[in-house]
Structure 1
């Protein structure tokens, strides 16, 4: 990222965030949410509810869990529990992100909005941006620009996928939802930070092993272990340096 030619104003960084989203990240989100929109229609969810899930949940795993359980006719408690468990992954990401953007101490209404519209895609992009931009006011502008474009792409993708569900086989709809995770994997693999690269490599090795032990907890345990080991290796490397 190069911000040397970007005007040092809130509006300029907001537009820059939108511009960066409307490239590979936005295309990936649009495609993934198109797949979700088709899946939602096949599950009997209305377009209004599907759009509400995209804007209200803003998490593909949680949304997929909701529509698949909704199709089976389970109760509201099970729906809420499944969505909560699927979305709990955003808790540590939001905790790590907020200090990078918050311009003053204490909690303000805008912070709740920022926490809600945060996503894995925006987290990775904004953390990388923060390495090049030191002023938190401009960081916040970039974040809002990037996430606004992300949300717009997601809503448009949901609507398009829903309206085209009859022409989109279920297998293709599910395959489209893998585009965003694949993009995140490629983005992490391009990182110049050794800890990030180590976590990707370890994750690719440990998550499949975790699935051989438990199909329910393999992804979580493998991912947590890979990230923890990568963090530990990086701390040891810095101490020895």
Structure 2
């Protein structure tokens, strides 16, 4: 059967989303996955296992946690819980992105499938690009980007595995840490609400301190405690000052 106009339009937006692989966030993430392949190699994880982790777990920090726990001899239940807790932090990203993608006839199962691709890179990219995409094409556009990004990085891990053993350790470390450095700036720049920036500042300050004071619980305390504190500051300080400032600026 010849392709319909709707099929041609869907393919157009899918391919346009796939071209996002050449965006700065995607390219930086790819360099980080080269660093990940070096970490997997040094930790005794096979090429196939590293590629499977990339496709199935996807989020880079969760894979780092898993490999670290595997190397330390942790049991499988502990590893399962650690990866699960690490991935829960993606829920607010999914919750904010789904309303931007959902159309009037978008099936729920499709949104659940696409949520697998939501990590920091996809979230930053989509939140910046979806506004310029017609709502009925946003799911297709994001699917093109997400599928291409995961597939490209899975292949990249397989190709770079072994090659990175020739890199100096400092080079592999720099490649891996490009992602957190980039996304620290991206999250701040893309923050739309004051509570996000307040939470960001609290996390940057409290994270290193808690890592020294309560190692092992630092991320949990900084996440829950810092997020709660940021909400309270925004709710009872920032929002209360805003009407007062507006009143002071009004003409008599």
The answer to whether TM tops 0.5 is: yes
CA contact under 8 A between 1:32 and 1:157: conserved in structure 2?
Answer: no
Q: Where does residue 3 of structure 1 map in the other structure?
A: none
Q: What SS class does the counterpart of residue 174 from structure 2 fall into?
A: helix
Decide which of 223, 227, 231 is 1:228's aligned counterpart: 231
CA distance in 1, matches of 2:117, 2:147: 8
- Residues 229 and 204 of structure 1: CA distance in aligned 2, closer, same or farther (over 3 Å): farther
Give 4+ residue runs of structure 1 displaced > 4 Å after superposition.
Answer: 104-107, 196-199, 233-241
Structure 1 unaligned runs (5+)?
A: 1-7
Largest Rg, 1 or 2 = 2
Structure 2 unaligned runs (5+)?
A: 1-7, 247-252
- Residues 184 and 101 of structure 1: CA distance in aligned 2, closer, same or farther (over 3 Å): same
Deviates more, 1:225-234 or 1:57-66: 225-234
RMSD: 3.0
Q: Where does residue 146 of structure 1 map in the other structure?
A: 145
What per-residue deviation string (whole Å, max 9, x for no partner) do you get for residues 207-239 of structure 1? Answer: 334435423333444355255368547755776
Deviates more, 1:122-131 or 1:165-174: 165-174
Residue correspondences, number? 233
CA distance in 1, matches of 2:191, 2:106: 33
What per-residue deviation string (whole Å, max 9, x for no partner) do you get for residues 115-141 of structure 1? Answer: 1111111112212234444x4322212
What per-residue deviation string (whole Å, max 9, x for no partner) do you get for residues 146-167 of structure 1? Answer: 2123213321331233121321
CA distance in 2, matches of 1:192, 1:77: 35
Q: What SS class does the counterpart of residue 161 from structure 2 fall into?
A: helix
Q: Where does residue 176 of structure 1 map in the other structure?
A: 175
For normalisation by structure 1, the TM-score amounts to: 0.80
For normalisation by structure 2, the TM-score amounts to: 0.77
